Amino acid sequence: MASSICSIHTFSPCSVRDPRFRRPESRFTHANFAIRSCMKPNCSVTTLRCRFGFGFDLRRLNLRVDRRRIRSVVVAGGPMFFPENPVVGDAFAMVFSGCFALSILRVYEETARRGIFDQKLNRKLVHTTIGLAFMLCWPLFSSGYQGAVMAALIPGVNIVKVLLIGLGIWKDEATVKSMSRDGDYRELIKGPLYYASTIALSSLIYWRTSPIAIAAICNLCAGDGMADIIGRRFGTKKIPYNKDKSFAGSIAMAAAGFIVSVGYMHYFSMFGYFEVSWQMIFGFLVVSVACALVESHPISTTFDDNLMVPLTSLLVGTLVF
Measured CA to CA, the distance from residue 233 to residue 249 in angstroms comes to: 9
Q: What is the dihedral of CA 306, 307, 308, 314, to 10 degrees?
A: 100
Q: How far apart are the first and last CA of the chain?
A: 67
The reply to whether 81 falls in a domain is no
Residues 117 and 188 in one domain: yes
Residues 190 and 250 in one domain: no
Residue among 262, 162, 158, 144 at smallest CA distance from 200? 158
The reply to whether 199 falls in a domain is yes
E strands in 58-159: none
Measured CA to CA, the distance from residue 19 to residue 236 in angstroms comes to: 81
Q: Which of 181, 209, 237 is the last residue of a domain?
A: 209
Q: How many domains does the chain have?
A: 4
In this predicted structure, what is the pLDDT of residue 46?
A: 40
The reply to whether 145 falls in a domain is yes
Residue among 211, 82, 215 at smallest CA distance from 142? 82
Q: For each of the chain's 321 residues, which pLDDT tens digit applies? A: 444 444 444 444 444 444 333 444 444 344 443 434 343 333 433 444 433 344 444 344 343 434 433 333 334 466 777 888 889 999 999 999 999 988 998 888 888 788 888 878 888 898 899 999 999 999 999 988 899 999 999 999 989 989 999 888 888 887 787 777 777 788 888 888 999 999 999 999 999 999 999 999 999 999 999 998 999 889 889 999 888 899 999 999 999 999 999 999 999 999 999 889 999 999 999 999 999 999 999 888 788 889 999 999 999 999 999
The reply to whether 82 falls in a domain is no
Amino acid at 160: V
The reply to whether 255 falls in a domain is yes
Q: Which domain holds residue 314?
A: 211-321
pLDDT tens track for 79-99: 777 888 889 999 999 999 999
The reply to whether 80 falls in a domain is no
Residues 170 and 218 in one domain: no
Residues 190 and 220 in one domain: no
Residues 15 and 95 in one domain: no
Q: What is the dihedral of CA 64, 67, 73, 77, to 10 degrees?
A: 160
The reply to whether 38 falls in a domain is yes
Q: What is the pTM of this model?
A: 0.73
In this predicted structure, what is the pLDDT of residue 40?
A: 39
In this predicted structure, what is the pLDDT of residue 77?
A: 61
Measured CA to CA, the distance from residue 223 to residue 291 in angstroms comes to: 8
In this predicted structure, what is the pLDDT of residue 57?
A: 44
Q: Which of 209, 234, 262 is the last residue of a domain?
A: 209
Residues 6+ apart with CB under 8 A from 254: 223, 288, 289, 291, 292
pLDDT tens track for 173-224: 877 877 777 777 888 888 889 999 999 999 999 999 999 999 999 999 999 9
